[in-house]
Chain A
Amino acid sequence: MNGFLRVALLVVRKDLTVEVRSRELIYTTLFFAVACVLVFAFAFVEEGRALDDAAAGILWVSIAFSGTLALGRTFERERHAETLRALLLAPADRPALYVGKLVGILLLMALTEAVLVPLVGLLFQAPVLAYPVLLAGLLVTGTLGYAAVGTLFAAMLIRARSRDVMLPILLYPITVPVIIAGVRGTAALFQPEPNPDMALFWIALLVFFDVVFVTLSLWTFEPLMTE
């Protein structure tokens, strides 16, 4: 277990170092997320007012889209000098590599959401500060579920053809429950009469989803990564 965490942390630290040097992922993902929000805002704003629940939907769709890009780019990096091979060659536990990559993606998405949530609050007058803990809970559990499946799929597609388009094709149907729960939960918090109990229900569902899918990913990572 000690070795497992050590390897995972090693991978996280390596990814952070690489990212801090180039800052490519941070800048491009953030910019894309903001652009997403704006594009959807133009689509869903009528006479200066957003449609009901538009804020919640726009937030989560932007998270999903920018997450897809971030996942693709992160693994493209490992493909570049075939460093993923070197990682698999080490005697380290393969699932530990998965966890390391997952944490890296989560950090990047957390940063993105830290920018998106205030932006959505500003643009749509959404009460993001009304129930901060519940909103954070939704974001954390939802992002974890999304990233858990996304990291596995992005990793397994590294050697596949058409991997850029395959990732969304595979990922979106599987993460539909995350989107539903995230949007409905956030909408429950943003609506004129907020419903925190509803949000709690969605958080509970997301926790359940996370447990199932992180376990499934850990379990299938090694067979899917070996040729």
Chain B
Amino acid sequence: MSLDFTAVTAVDVSRHYGRRKALARVSFECRAGDIVGLLGPNGAGKSTLLSILATLVAPSSGHVEYGGRRSSEVGAALRARLGLLGHDLYLYPELTARENLRFFARLYGLADADGAVGRGLAMAGLVERADDQVQGFSRGMRQRLALERALLHAPRLLLLDEPFTGLDQASAAALVARLRGLQAEGCLVLVATHDLDVVDGLLTRVLYLRSGRLVETTDGSAGLRERYRRVMQTS
């Protein structure tokens, strides 16, 4: 059973761990073709929100709708349309780049696994290093590979948690270009990041998160740093 959607809606999503509130009644909507920025200080709840959107964590209250349907209604098939790139990259260090991609391609049950792996390696620019173990890669190379791993199954919703951390300028620019390409293909991208200068001009919507609460939502993103400072000061 295949499932697709063009809009993701969070409705009053809250998540608490005992007394600690990670998210409080976060509501927003985004559509395919959006690149949504999730900005906020450390501990604002960005990672928690991404985990909830990836269906790895259940909200304490509220729900998320994917094309009008909740994850509890749809089940495992939904995960085939989601991609997550976490802080820890989710790569097996002892496997080669090719083996990592091939494992996940087969795990997702892709019809043309080898083709997808080849394309992924090419997009990551790692064809010459395809048969080297990942533990020998630099952070930038691992990031590129991890991104391609998240994109193997051509997800509709791509969630990125601090993807620009530790990247040099060239790698960051390459990532930005990749995201623009995905946007053109109709992918819905959500990026949690601190690197405001890098994403300036890239984002179509911006969600400002602070202490678990969504304090402001804006469109477009010129002059991001200035706006961020203003929003965080007034809220």
Chain A residues proximal to chain B, CB less than 8 Å: 3, 6-7, 10, 14, 17-18, 21-22, 80-83, 85-93, 226-227
Top 5 nearest A-B pairs (CB, nearest first) are A86-B90, A82-B88, A91-B80, A21-B94, A91-B79
Known: A10-B103, A85-B86, A226-B58. A91 touches B91 (CB 8 A): no
Considering the chains assembled together, what is the distance between the CA atoms of A17 and B51 in angstroms? 29
Q: Which residues of A contact B54 (CB under 8 A)?
A: 89
Considering the chains assembled together, what is the distance between the CA atoms of A83 and B99 in angstroms? 14
Number of interface residues of B (CB under 8 A): 31
Q: Does B133 contact A (CB under 8 A)?
A: yes
Q: Which residues of B contact A92 (CB under 8 A)?
A: 76, 107-109
A88 touches B88 (CB 8 A): no
Q: Which residues of B contact A82 (CB under 8 A)?
A: 86-90
B95 touches A17 (CB 8 A): yes
Interface string of B71-82 (1 = CB under 8 A from A): 000001111101
Considering the chains assembled together, what is the distance between the CA atoms of A82 and B88 in angstroms? 6
Q: Which residues of B contact A17 (CB under 8 A)?
A: 94-95, 99
5 A-B contacts (beta carbon < 8 Å): A80-B93, A83-B91, A90-B107, A91-B77, A227-B56
Nearest-Cβ distance from residue A12 to partner chain B, whole angstroms: 12
A88 touches B56 (CB 8 A): yes
* Among A22, A91, A93, residue most surrounded by chain B Cβ atoms (within 10 Å): A91
A14 touches B95 (CB 8 A): yes
A18 touches B94 (CB 8 A): yes
B104 touches A21 (CB 8 A): no
Residue of A nearest to B106 (CB): A10
Nearest-Cβ distance from residue B100 to partner chain A, whole angstroms: 9
Q: Does B214 contact A (CB under 8 A)?
A: no
A86 touches B79 (CB 8 A): no
B92 touches A93 (CB 8 A): no
Considering the chains assembled together, what is the distance between the CA atoms of A80 and B93 in angstroms? 10
B58 touches A81 (CB 8 A): no
Considering the chains assembled together, what is the distance between the CA atoms of A80 and B87 in angstroms? 12
B107 touches A7 (CB 8 A): yes
Known: A89-B56, A93-B76, A227-B56. A81 touches B93 (CB 8 A): yes
Considering the chains assembled together, what is the distance between the CA atoms of A92 and B77 in angstroms? 9
Nearest-Cβ distance from residue A26 to partner chain B, whole angstroms: 13
Nearest-Cβ distance from residue A25 to partner chain B, whole angstroms: 11
A81 touches B88 (CB 8 A): yes
**Residue from A6, A14, A90, A227 within 8 A of B92 (CB atoms):** A14
For chain B, residues 98 to 126, give those with C-beta under 8 angstroms from any C-beta of chain A. 99, 103-104, 106-109
